[in-house]
Amino acid sequence: MAAQEPAIIDQATLWNGTSGHAWVDSQQLLDRILEPFQDILIDEIRGGSGSRVLDIGCGTGSTTLAAAQLLGEKGRCTGIDISEPMLALARTRAEQERASVSFICADAQTFAFDAASFDTMISRFGVMFFNDPVAAFSNLRRAATSGARLCFIAWKGGADNPFMTTAERAAAPLLTNIPPRNPDGPGQFAFADPQRVRRILEQSGWTQIDIRPTAVGCSFPEAELIGYFTRLGPLGQALQQADEAARNHVIATVRAAFDPYVHGAEVRFNAAIWVVSARA
């Protein structure tokens, strides 16, 4: 959901470090914000016939658990992610819900999946962080059964999602250490270009590719806003190095920049995404 560090920082280091822990700490808030996207993926599963599901970049497990709840005893749901802190929480949630799911801590780009072991693959904002997307989707293709369905959600560009960059734009004049975005590397907007996404999937052996633009309304309590932008994304990283006076000044400035999105006790924004589907 939030913007990520540039490609010079290893993704495993990032997600097993401060970013992964920030997502764990913010799990309930992020699940609320991201629920509409989860619903899209669950509807895709509901409309298909598959029962062996792989959730790519599953994070703290919300989509994996939702898929398992939908499929019940007939399903076999597996989540894969490179973040051990996030997966630790996912496993705890699965135990609490007595859900029959499994989680793998590994990079889906290189993990040695059993061949033809999944008939459905989903991802909620988890596929934009591969160092080599063609290699990753080729690896996933080998793990898919013939005719398996792939469906993932990715962000459109930053210009289409101004809410996502509000914090870093507002803080840029005040901080010099905000990590820059690398449009050619792994990151939140890496799949902004639909033609690039199509080329990646075609080169990876996927067919029947459909890339559909979708707008989704999101909301969360205004009381959570400061915690949201001070912990997540590039600003969250930069603020760790700021002294108290600078931090307070930045927080006040950034909070004011979010005023157009605040409606009483609620923050509301529109998210512009791609809903991408393909067949193996």
Q: Other CB atoms closer than 10 Å to residue 173's CB: what's the count?
A: 9
Q: What is the pLDDT along the chain (280 residues), one digit of tens a residue?
A: 333 333 346 788 888 988 889 999 999 999 999 999 999 999 999 998 889 999 999 999 999 999 999 999 999 999 999 999 999 999 999 999 999 999 999 999 999 999 999 999 999 999 999 999 999 999 999 999 999 999 999 999 999 999 999 999 999 999 888 877 877 789 999 999 999 999 999 999 999 999 999 999 999 999 999 999 999 988 988 888 888 999 999 999 999 999 999 999 999 999 999 999 999 9
| Per-residue pLDDT reduced to its tens digit, 235-269 | 988 888 888 999 999 999 999 999 999 999 999 99
Conformational region of residue 57, where left means phi above 0, alpha means psi within -120 to 50, and beta covers everything else: left
The highest-level CATH class for domain 11-160+180-219+270-279 is alpha beta
Non-local CB neighbours of 144 within 8 Å, separated by 6+ positions = 116, 118, 119, 121, 150, 280
Confidence (pLDDT) at 240? 83
C-alpha span between 84 and 169 (Å, rounded)? 31
Q: Other CB atoms closer than 10 Å to residue 72's CB: what's the count?
A: 9
| Per-residue pLDDT reduced to its tens digit, 83-114 | 999 999 999 999 999 999 999 999 999 999 99
**DSSP string over the chain:** ------TTS-HHHHHTTHHHHHHHHTHHHHHHHHHHHHHHHHHHHHTS---EEEEET-TTSHHHHHHHHHHGGG-EEEEEES-HHHHHHHHHHHHHHT--EEEEES-TTT--PPTT-EEEEEEES-STT-SSHHHHHHHHHHHEEEEEEEEEEEE--GGG-HHHHHHHHHHTTT-S-PPPP-TTSSSTTTT--HHHHHHHHHHTT-EEEEEEEEEEEEEEEGGGHHHHHHHSHHHHHHHTTS-HHHHHHHHHHHHHHTGGGEETTEEEEEEEEEEEEEE-
